[in-house]
Amino acid sequence: MTGASLPRGPVVLGLEGTSLGAADRMRLLHPLTGGAILFSRNFESCAQLRALTASIRALRTPSLLICVDHEGGRVQRFREGFTTIPPMRTLGAVWDSDVAAAAAEARRLGELIARELRAHGVDFSFTPVLDLDFGRSAVIGDRAFHGNPNAVAHLASALRHGLNAGGCAAVGKHFPGHGFVAADSHVDLPVDERALDALVADDLIPFAVLAKEGLEALMPAHVVYPAVDTVAAGYSRVWLQDIARGRLQFDGLIFSDDLGMAAAQAAGDIVSRADAAVTAGCDMVLACNDFAAADELLSRWQPDAQPDLARRTAAMEGK
């Protein structure tokens, strides 16, 4: 049985538990909602996960997008019954001695991630990480493939091809690069003082390569680059419109990072944050862990129509 016929909206929501409660259902049926993001709190077994995703899909037509942060290493939400994925830095270490072997392994892991997620009803993971490893950021750390932008571009491209082969779209993050700053945007507002030319010469290379190849989606960083704009990249028309859409010719979906993160809060309350993100160029906004704020967003936000949302979200459906 299919649920209500309702176009996808621009909000991606976290869920409270391992099955849909009444509050979850109410949020997911709201016209502003377009997807659900899953965390470790939403997983206890493979059978339970399949039941949860099936119940989400049954709510609406077209079905809500179902996504997860499932990169490998520290960031792998589903464990029991899933293959343990190594941190991406291990691929970078192989790349230093055998480029072809590293790329082949990246593609294999991408396909493995995708096939396991799709078998459990999940559309895609927020991966690959395109940040460079400058040895400065603990929150990025071994999530990055390498410090060499060409290595990152090569390995991320191979991972994306594997994801696509396994049935998943890819999401490049955290545009234009989170690896140079020490501060963690979950708890602070990082500031990267480098000039645009320095970012173009290093950090933007993987994003440019994957955008040219047809990357399906992008997630900007909650980082301020004051030499380019006074607001964080996820709230910046310069970064999202002039550079991502313009300079890089990126035409995929742009997700905000979680609007509940400390670095996102500079824009004001949850409604002001969502407005700022969409005005800058985000297609969808994430409200992951603060359920009271999510309820406030759904009750008060009145975004303008987004004519490209249906097309761009369709590209994120399980392939």
Q: Count CA atoms within 13 Å of residue 177 on its CB side.
A: 32
Active-site pick, 161, 184, 186, 295: 186
Q: Which residue has the tokens 């060499």?
A: 148
- Rounded Cα gap, residues 59 and 63, in angstroms: 7
Active-site pick, 257, 258, 275, 283: 257
- Rounded Cα gap, residues 90 and 138, in angstroms: 16
The terminus-to-terminus CA distance of the chain in angstroms comes to 22
Q: Is 133 a catalytic residue?
A: no
Angle formed by the axes of helices 204-213 and 149-165, to 10°? 30
Q: Is 258 a catalytic residue?
A: no
Cα 196 vs. chain centroid, distance in angstroms? 23
Beta bridge pairs of residue 5: 61
- Rounded Cα gap, residues 171 and 125, in angstroms: 7
* Sequence-ordered list of residues with C-beta below 8 angstroms from that of 164, at least 6 positions apart, any chain: 110, 114, 170, 319
* Sequence-ordered list of residues with C-beta below 8 angstroms from that of 198, at least 6 positions apart, any chain: none
- Rounded Cα gap, residues 254 and 245, in angstroms: 10
- Rounded Cα gap, residues 269 and 138, in angstroms: 28
Cα 314 vs. chain centroid, distance in angstroms? 16
Q: Which two structure tokens, joined as six digits, stand for 25?
A: 């259902």
Which amino acid is residue 312, in one-letter code? Answer: R
Sign of CA dihedral 274, 278, 281, 283: positive
> Catalytic amino acids?
186, 257
